[in-house]
Every structure is written in C-alpha cells, then in structure tokens.
C-alpha cells in the first residue's frame, strides 16, 4: 500500500495491547513533549536534545497523521469502557520502522536527563518503558514483515531475558 506521496505504508497489528499502560505512556509522553517544547521555546544552552526529540515527534505526527483515526477511536472507546486490553491495527509508513531503534535510544537518553534531575518530568516508569519497547519492537519487526507478538508473550520473553535493558 502507498500513500499519495509515494510513501510505502504497511499495517501493524498490536495484539493484547494493555490499555492502562498505553494510557500512562500517552500521559508521560505528553508531559515530556510539553516540557521539551518549553525548554526549546525558552532558548538558552542545552536545547539540542529537546529539539531533536521534538523533530522526531513532529515527523511521526506528520507522516502518520490522519492514518489511524479508527484505531484511536477504538482505543478511546475501550478506555472509556474500562477494558484491560485491545487488539488494533495501525497503518504507518515503513520508514518509521527503520527509525524505531534510534527513537528508543533517544527515549533512553531523555530518561537519563530525567534521572539526573535536569528535567522536571520523572523518568519513565519501568512498566511503561517496557510497553514502549514492545510497541517500538512491534513496529520495527512488523514493518519488516514479521508476524505480531502479543504483549503478554513479548513481556514473558522480556522477563526471561533479564534486566539487560533500562
């Protein structure tokens, strides 16, 4: 599938997506983006990392904007019902998969700033960070042609790997 501007699009299936973690990841991400935007708008020293993250966030919004209104609606409805998890599909440019590991590294770098106290936003909680890794892993793997891995299956394998990631 391709978009009007010849961007290759693929469908990614998120199976057993934990809604409470998704909601918390959204909240944390929004708080972080607000703080980084404030830092960039204020100018001064040490704005390169916030600028870099904001550029990535904007690039993702532009490239995937409007593609997944049905998925967003289904997620919001499931959250309103109090569901524990949801299966949904998102359409995204294949280029996002190539950038997933770099984005994960950028999130790790931002978390280091949060841990050091250089940002007001707290470090991403471990369970939310695990959710982010799953989501990014699924994006990259599926955009590369691999089948979906449900959240619980991925989480069990992640726990078996041990504490090798932050």
Q: What is the pLDDT of residue 57?
A: 64
Q: Which residues contact 38 (CB under 8 A, 6 or more apart)?
A: none
Contact 86, 17 (CB under 8 A): yes
Task: Kindly write down the DSSP assignment for every residue of 62-98, as one continuous string.
Answer: HHHTTS-HHHHHHHHHHHHHT-SEEEEEEEEEHHHHH
Q: Which of 31-45, 95-109, 147-161 has the highest mean pLDDT?
A: 147-161
pTM: 0.81
Q: What is the pLDDT of residue 166?
A: 44
pLDDT at residue 150 is higher than 70: yes
Position 35 scores a pLDDT of 83
* Average pLDDT value for the chain: 84
Q: What residue has token string 């959710």?
A: 131
Residue 94 has pLDDT above 50, yes or no: yes
Separation CA 26–CA 12 (nearest Å): 19
Per-residue pLDDT of 21-52, as tens digits, reads 999 999 998 888 888 778 777 765 666 766 77
């Amino acid at each position: 599938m391709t978009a009007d501007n010849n961007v290759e699009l693929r469908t990614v299936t998120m199976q057993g997506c934990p809604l409470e973690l998704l909601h918390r990841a959204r909240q944390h991400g929004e708080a972080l983006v607000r703080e980084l935007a404030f830092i960039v708008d204020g100018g001064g020293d040490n704005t390169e990392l916030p600028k870099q993250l904001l550029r990535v966030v904007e690039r993702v919004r532009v490239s995937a904007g409007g593609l997944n209104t049905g998925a967003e609606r289904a997620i919001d409805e499931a959250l309103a019902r109090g569901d524990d998890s949801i299966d949904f599909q998102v359409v995204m440019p294949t280029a996002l998969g190539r950038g997933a590991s770099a984005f994960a590294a950028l999130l790790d770098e931002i978390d280091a700033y949060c841990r050091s106290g250089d940002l007001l936003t707290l470090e991403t909680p471990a369970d939310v960070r695990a959710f982010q890794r799953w989501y990014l892993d699924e994006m990259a793997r599926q955009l590369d042609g691999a089948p979906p891995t449900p959240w619980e299956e991925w989480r069990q394998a992640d726990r078996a790997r041990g504490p090798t990631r932050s």
